[in-house]
Structure 1
Amino acid sequence: MSRYTAFISLIFVLSLILPTLIQANEQNHVIIGYYAGWTPLNHFNPQSVTHINYAFADVCWDGKHGNPEASDGGLLPCTDLHGKEQNDIPNGTVVLGAPATDLANLDKLKAFKKVNPQLKTLISIGGWSWSMNLSLVARTVETRKRFAESAVTFIQTLDMDGVDLDWEYPVGGGMRNNHHDPSDKQNFTLLLQEIRNALDKAEQKDGKKYLLTIASSAGLSYLENTELEKVAHIVDYINIMTYDFNGSWSPITGHNAPLFEDPKAVLYEVHPHHVAAAVKGHIEHGVPPHKLVMGLPFYARSWGNCNPEDEEQLLENGGYLPCSGNGGGNLEPGTYDYNFLEKHVINQNGFKRYWNNAAKVPYLYSKEKREFISYDDPDSLKEKVHFITENALAGAMIWELSEDDQSQTLLSTIRNGLDLPEPETTQHPEERPSIIWIYFIIIGTLLVIFLLRVRKSK
C-alpha cells in the first residue's frame, strides 16, 4: 500500500510539473520581425522570433493597386490570391502586393511554422508605398466591411494567424499623393473594429485565435491624428516605428533611432525627438505598456559631403555636421544594412566607430569620405532592450529581418536581453521531441516499473 501511495503521489507531482514545463517554453515578451517580401530571408532561424509580419499586401481600388509615385512600378493590376489578374475585384479588397514573389514567400512562412509551431504569422497591409487608398477604404461602412472580410479570407487561405494594419498615415503624412481626410482619425478606429469583428467571427467558426496589430508612428502628430486609447482596446499589439528620426533629408547629421534626448541635438537644431519620448507619448495617450512594442532598426542612415568647410573638425557626441545628400549604401543611396556595415564599414575602410553616450547609440564617420552613418549595434540594442524590460513593454519589433548578419547577432542580442532562451538548431519538426510526449514516456515507464514490482511482490 505504501508503494502504491508513493506512486500515486509521484504521478500527482508530475501532473503539477507538466504545466510548468510547458509554460517554461512560452515567452512573456514578443519579438515581432518584419519580413520584407522583396528581400530574400536567408540564414534565418524561425525559432528566433515569436511573430513574423509579412510586408506587404495592398488594397484594390478601381481595379488597380499600388502607388504611381512608388519605386516599385506604380499602379499594378489586382489579382486573386492565386496570383491571377482579375478585372472585377471590388474596391477595398485586400490583394497580394507582388504575387510573383509573395506566393513563394508565404509558402516559406508555412515551412517556418513547421520548424517553430509557436510562431505566429501576420499579413501586414499598407506600408509607406501602399497606403494611398486606405483613407478611402476607411470612409464607408461598405468598404470597411469588405476590407475586413477580405483580410480574413486572405489569412485563412494562406494559413496565417492575423492582420497587421500599417496605415502611413491617417489624417496627414506619408507619400504626397496619399488620400487624407480629417475623418481618418475616427475612421481608423472604425476600420480596426470592423477587422476585429471579422476576426472574432472567424475564431468562432474555426476555433483559432487570430491577432490584430498595427504599426504606429513615432511622430508627435500621430498621437493627435488617431484615437490611440480606443485603438488599444481593439488590437493585440501596437508596434511603434521608433526609427527614421533623422536621415539625409536633413542638412545636419543626427541619429536614426536615438534612445534618449541629446542636449547637443537641440543646440545644433537637429530633430530632438527620440525613442523614449515616442513610447511615453503612446502611454500618455492611453496605450497600456503590455500592448506596446518598440521598433528596432537593423539598418543605417548615411549622409554624404559632410563638414565641407573644415576637414579636421569632428564635433563630439553624435557629429551634428552640415552635410548634403545621401552617403553610400548597399540597400539604396543613404541606407546600409547591419550585415554590410559589419563586414565592410565598422572600423574599416577609413570609418571609425563612435558612441553617443547621451542618445545611447553608435555612429560612424570617415573624414576621407566625408560620410556620416547612424546605426544600431549590439551595444545600443542592449540599452533599448533594457528600456523595454524596465518599462514593462510587450517586446521588440524589427525592421527588417534580412538585414541582420548571418549569425543573427542583433536578434541574439534582443533575445538575451529579454531573457528568452537561445533558439534551437533548426531541424525538422518531427526530429524535435514534444515535451508532452516526454512526460507521457516518463509516466509510462514509471507505471511499468510499478506494475512489475507489484507483480514480483506477490
Structure 2
Amino acid sequence: MFRYTAFTLIIFVLSLFLPSLVKANEQNYVIIGYYAGWSPPKNFNPQSVTHINYAFADVCWDGKHGNQEASNGGLQPCTDFNGNEQNDTPNGTVVLGAPTTDLPNLDNLKGFKHVNPQLKTLISIGGWSWSMNLSLVARTEETRMQFAESAVAFIRSFDMDGVDLDWEYPVSGGMPNNHHDPSDKKNFTLLLQEIRNSLNQAEQKDGKKYLLTIASSAGFSYLENTELDKVAKIVDYINIMTYDFNGSWSQTTGHNAPLYKDPQAIENDVHPHHVAAAVKGHLDHGVPTKKLVLGLPFYGRSWGNCNPETEGKVLGNGGYQLCSGNGGGNLEPGTYDYNFLEKHIINQNGFQRYWNDTAKVPFLYSEEKREFISYDDSESIKEKTHYITQSALAGAMIWELSEDDETQTLMNSVREGLGLPNLEPSKQPEEKPATKWTFFIITGILIIILVFFIRKKRK
C-alpha cells in the first residue's frame, strides 16, 4: 500500500513539472558556428553556440592534399595527426589541412568544453578550396571506406563529436579544377552512408553519440545534383549556406543574403534567388524542418567604381546599380567582416546605411568612394531568426565566428532572436534561476517522498 502511494505521489509531482521542461526543450535551437582555422575567434564565449564546426580538414590523394589553384598554399604533403609527414597515406584519408595552426586550434576546442560541457565539436572536411578530390573519393567503395574510417579516427584523436562534410559541390560547381562526374549525385549519398556506418560502429565502442552533418548549397542546381531526401535520413543536420547570392563577380550590385524576393532585382537583371527560396527548395526535396539549419553571414560583399554614368551619385536608394570589380575589404578585396564594418564604415567615412524593406537586409553606399557594400546587421539578423522560428527550422549556422565585433553584436542578435539570453564575451553565464530552482524543488520533493516511504515501511 505504501509503495503504491509513494509511486503515485512521485508520478503526480513529475506530471506537474515535466511537461514544462519538455516544452522548453522542444523550443531549443541549435547555433552552429564555423571556426576557421586561419582566423581563430577573439572574445568568444563557448556558451554562445551549441556546436562548433572546425574548418577545415582535407583529403589525401596521391600523397598530397590541398589545391594547386587555391590561395592557401597549393599542394602539401600529407601528415599524420601529429603533423608528421607520411609517404604511404592511402587515397581518401582525412588529414590535417594546416597542422601548424590546426593542432593548437583543436586543442583550444577541448578547452571550450570545460566552459560549456554541452558543446559539440565537429571536423568539417572540404570547403571551397579543398573539395577538389571528393568526387574521386566518393567513386569507389574502397576510398569511401577509407574516408569514413579515417574521419572517425580523426574525431577520436581530437576528442570531437562528429563529422561535417562540406563538399562544394557534387556534379558541378565549385573551383574550376574540381573533379566532377554525374555519378556524384548517387555517390554523395553512398559516402555519407559509409561515414554514418563508421560512426555507428564507433558509438557502440565509445558509448557516445556521434553527429554527421553537411553544408549544402543555396543554389537550385544543388537540389538536382544531390539526393536530399535520402541524405536527410542519414545526417543529423543540413546547414544551408544561404549567402553569396551576389558579389562583385556581377556588374550589377545585389544583396549578399537577401531574405525575400525583391521585384527590383528582376527589373535590374539581378539574380532573384533568396534565402526563403533556398529553404523552400530543400523542404520540397524532402528535408524535414527539424534538420534544416539556416546559414547567416557575419561578413559583407563590396563593389567598386559604381554609377559611372552619374559620377558616383546614388540612384534611388543606392541599390541595384552598375559597378565594376571589387570594392574595398579587410578580409580580401571585395569582402569585409562585420567587425571592420562596424568600427570603420557603417555611417562613417562617407558611407551611409540604407535598408531594403522588401529583401529585409541593409546595405552601404559612399558617393565619394563609389563603393557599394551588402552585409547583415542586427536588424536583418532579427528578421532571419524570426523566419527560423516561424518556419520551425532547427536553428542557425554562422560563417564564421571570428567575424563578429568585440561585443558579439551579431551573435547576441542571433541568440535574442531565437529566445536565448545574451552572453557577455568570454564570460560564463550563471545558470538560469528558473531552471536551477526547478531542479532543487523536484529533488527536494522526491527526497521527502522517499523518507516518508521508508518511515512507513519501518512501522
Same fold at TM > 0.5: yes
Match of 1:185 in 2: 185
- Percent identical residues: 74
Match of 1:392 in 2: 392
1:68 maps to 2:102 = no
* 1:20/1:97 CA distance change after superposition, 3 Å: farther
Match of 1:134 in 2: 134
- 1:158-177 maps to which residues of 2 (within 5 A)? 158-177=158-177
Q: Which runs of 5+ in 2 are unaligned?
A: none
Match of 2:416 in 1: 416
Letter in 2 for 1:230: K
The answer to whether the Cα contact below 8 Å between 1:247 and 1:253 also exists between their aligned partners in 2 is: yes
Q: How far has the Cα of 1:369 moved from its partner?
A: 0.3
* Aligned mates of 1:61, 1:439 — CA distance in 2: 58
Match of 1:308 in 2: 308
Greater mean deviation of Cα atoms: 34-43 or 15-24: 15-24
* Aligned mates of 1:431, 1:220 — CA distance in 2: 43
* 1:212/1:412 CA distance change after superposition, 3 Å: same
Match of 1:218 in 2: 218
Letter in 2 for 1:149: E
Letter in 2 for 1:290: K
Deviations 1:132-176 (A, max 9, x none): 000000000000001001101111111111100000000011011
Letter in 2 for 1:103: L
Is the partner of 1:309 in helix, strand or coil? Answer: helix
Is the partner of 1:343 in helix, strand or coil? Answer: helix
* 1:424/1:252 CA distance change after superposition, 3 Å: closer
* Aligned mates of 1:383, 1:428 — CA distance in 2: 28
The answer to whether the Cα contact below 8 Å between 2:13 and 2:442 also exists between their aligned partners in 1 is: no
* Aligned mates of 1:375, 1:211 — CA distance in 2: 31
Letter in 2 for 1:135: S
The answer to whether the Cα contact below 8 Å between 1:163 and 1:211 also exists between their aligned partners in 2 is: yes
Q: How far has the Cα of 1:79 moved from its partner?
A: 0.7
Deviations 1:220-241 (A, max 9, x none): 1111111111111111111110
Match of 1:207 in 2: 207
Q: How far has the Cα of 1:311 moved from its partner?
A: 2.5
* Aligned mates of 1:129, 1:66 — CA distance in 2: 8
Q: How far has the Cα of 1:19 moved from its partner?
A: 5.3
Q: How far has the Cα of 1:280 moved from its partner?
A: 0.8
Deviations 1:25-53 (A, max 9, x none): 78621111101010021101111111110
1:337 maps to 2:337 = yes
- 1:215-294 maps to which residues of 2 (within 5 A)? 215-294=215-294
Letter in 1 for 2:240: I
Is the partner of 1:88 in helix, strand or coil? Answer: coil
Deviations 1:188-223 (A, max 9, x none): 000000001111111111111111110000111111
Letter in 1 for 2:274: H
Match of 1:86 in 2: 86
Deviations 1:249-281 (A, max 9, x none): 111111000111111111111111111111111
* Aligned mates of 1:204, 1:377 — CA distance in 2: 44
The answer to whether the Cα contact below 8 Å between 1:244 and 1:257 also exists between their aligned partners in 2 is: yes
Is the partner of 2:55 in helix, strand or coil? Answer: strand
The answer to whether the Cα contact below 8 Å between 1:218 and 1:240 also exists between their aligned partners in 2 is: yes
Letter in 2 for 1:183: S
Letter in 1 for 2:203: E
Match of 1:143 in 2: 143
* 1:205/1:30 CA distance change after superposition, 3 Å: same
* Aligned mates of 1:427, 1:409 — CA distance in 2: 15
Letter in 1 for 2:158: L
Letter in 1 for 2:103: L
Q: How far has the Cα of 1:181 moved from its partner?
A: 0.6
* Aligned mates of 2:444, 2:115 — CA distance in 1: 25
Match of 2:376 in 1: 376
Is the partner of 1:205 in helix, strand or coil? Answer: helix
Deviations 1:319-371 (A, max 9, x none): 11111111111111110011111111000000000001111100000000000
* Aligned mates of 2:304, 2:249 — CA distance in 1: 11
Letter in 1 for 2:172: G
User: When the two structures are superposed, what TM-score results if normalisation uses the length of structure 1?
Assistant: 0.91
**Count of aligned pairs:** 453
Is the partner of 1:216 in helix, strand or coil? Answer: strand
Is the partner of 2:369 in helix, strand or coil? Answer: coil
Greater mean deviation of Cα atoms: 362-371 or 6-15: 6-15
1:118 maps to 2:121 = no
The answer to whether the Cα contact below 8 Å between 1:318 and 1:355 also exists between their aligned partners in 2 is: no
* Aligned mates of 2:73, 2:126 — CA distance in 1: 16
Deviations 1:51-91 (A, max 9, x none): 11000000000111000001111001111111111111100
- 1:150-161 maps to which residues of 2 (within 5 A)? 150-161=150-161
The answer to whether the Cα contact below 8 Å between 1:50 and 1:118 also exists between their aligned partners in 2 is: yes
Deviations 1:401-426 (A, max 9, x none): 11111111111111111112334775
The answer to whether the Cα contact below 8 Å between 2:223 and 2:285 also exists between their aligned partners in 1 is: yes
Match of 2:404 in 1: 404
Match of 1:198 in 2: 198
Q: How far has the Cα of 1:443 moved from its partner?
A: 6.0
* 1:359/1:429 CA distance change after superposition, 3 Å: closer
Letter in 2 for 1:310: T
Deviations 1:287-319 (A, max 9, x none): 111111111100000001111120364233551
